[in-house]
Chains A and B, each alone.
Chain A
Amino acid sequence: EPEVTQTPSHQVTQMGQEVILRCVPISNHLYFYWYRQILGQKVEFLVSFYNNEISEKSEIFDDQFSVERPDGSNFTLKIRSTKLEDSAMYFCASSWTSQETQYFGPGTRLLVL
């Protein structure tokens, strides 16, 4: 069964450093998403991406964040200058259309020291 994969599974970084989280969505899917979950809190939507453009973003997704689909398979989330409060699980998801079911990856645990 096709699945969303994410790398790395864990990332530790120093405050102020840039991090790139990687995702490989399900191969025929066209819509891509990032969510995050701070420890003990709800899963929060960050951004959705379609046709090489951001289609929707939350107020969490400020100028420190960017997304990119650098090739036909990867979808990345970049945090330019990490803050302590960026420590969280980051989940990538994909769907065939905006109306179809979103399938999630296993997540990347980011720890900012």
Chain B
Amino acid sequence: DAKTTQPPSMDCAEGRAANLPCNHSTISGNEYVYWYRQIHSQGPQYIIHGLKNNETNEMASLIITEDRKSSTLILPHATLRDTAVYYCIVKRGGYNKLIFGAGTRLAVHP
């Protein structure tokens, strides 16, 4: 599975958009980009995933560059409850495991 690189920490003001970047320059054509988050020591929570098109759901938007070497997770209106560690994971379709890195610790402040 391709390795991902994320900034270790980010800050965001409540109500503003949080844009979390992820580099995955060695991604292969059949690998998906997944985003999860972990609040405190709770179980990782699925946010969104994509292959090459941009995706949006009720939680977030995922923007994948045309060359697929990087992506950005966008939380459009961050709240204090969005404070968490966000993981960008590249996963090959048909393979089982998710490989978690250190993620980005997002702090949303009033």
Which A residues are closer than 8 A to B by beta carbons?
4, 31, 33, 35, 37, 39, 42-45, 48, 55-56, 58, 89, 91, 93, 98-99, 101-107, 109
Contact = CB atoms under 8 A, between A and B. Distances in A.
Interface residues of A, dominant DSSP: strand
Contact of A107 (B36, B43, B93, B94): B43
Interface string B34-67: 1010100111111001000000000000000000
B94 A99 contact: yes
A43 B44 contact: yes
Given A43-B38, A44-B100, A99-B94, 11 more contacts: A31-B96, A42-B100, A48-B97, A89-B41, A91-B44, A93-B43, A101-B49, A104-B36, A104-B43, A107-B42, A107-B43
A101 B34 contact: yes
Contacts of B17: none
Contact of A109 (B41, B99, B102): B41
Contact of A33 (B87, B93, B96): B96
Interface string B7-44: 00000000000000000000000000010101001111
Nearest to B48: A101
Given A42-B102, A43-B38, A104 B45 contact: yes
Nearest to A43: B100
Contacts of A39: 41
A55 B95 CA distance: 10
Contacts of A31: 96
B43 A48 contact: no
B100 A98 contact: no
A53 B96 CA distance: 13
